[in-house]
Amino acid sequence: MSTDKRPASGGQTATSNVQQPANPARDVAMIAVFAGVTAALGQLPSIPTPYSGVPITAQSLGVMLAGAVLGARRGAASQALFLALVALGLPLLAGGRGGIGVFAGPTVGFLVGFVVVAALIGWATERVGAPYRVVPGLIINAGIGVVALYACGIVGMMIVTQMPLPASLLAMIPFLPGGAVKVLIATFVARGVHAAYPGLLPVRRPSGTA
């Protein structure tokens, strides 16, 4: 005869602190998949912009998704892998660009921002916790992700092109409509992924909680 011993805890459920066990193979696979997502989005047509020399592309959508779905560590790793492949010469950027030389051009700030933004979005998403919700997702993707990406891009343009700050800020205006669309897409896609595959994000608990 078997006995089913359950802890008589005060209202805590068994799923409240559930976290998927470490699975390095799965982590590597997901990192590779989201590096591939960013690469695939680079094959879509880009839109040239005046003044800055930086085209409007769909690749920042992949960056947002990496952070929102994988979390900080794996999301940033996926974008670092993507940039490593670009540096090795693979033509994965919009327009078929690749090679170490792209990191000396006006887009360098945005490229570095891929890793930064994926990490920041992932960090904030982990701390909001499950289930993934639309309103916090929109705030994180726009208020943290887009702002951080544009900040990195502006710094890069100022360094490479010697463009003054006011002109760099004006150069970001053409990116705003597309950025808003990508925020919406990333948020709703991330919600769908988390609904289908719960437990993707690491569990983050404030210190001192039971």
pLDDT of residue 142: 97
Summarize pLDDT for 169-182 with one digit per residue, the tens.
Answer: 999 999 999 999 99
Mean pLDDT of all residues belonging to the chain? 89
CB-CB contact of 85 with 40 (8 Å):
no
What CATH number belongs to 25-196?
Answer: 1.10.1760.20
97: phi then psi, degrees, rounded to nearest 5 = -85, 150
How far apart, in whole angstroms, are the C-alpha atoms of residue 70 and residue 67? 5
State which amino acid sits at residue 140: I
pLDDT of residue 52: 81
Tokens of 29: 């696979």
CB-CB contact of 78 with 40 (8 Å):
no
How far apart, in whole angstroms, are the C-alpha atoms of residue 70 and residue 74? 6
Neighbours of 133 (CB within 10 A): 14
Mean pLDDT in residue range 42-71 = 94
Summarize pLDDT for 58-111 with one digit per residue, the tens.
Answer: 999 999 999 999 999 999 999 999 999 999 999 999 999 999 999 999 999 999
Tokens of 186: 């990333």
pTM for this predicted structure:
0.86
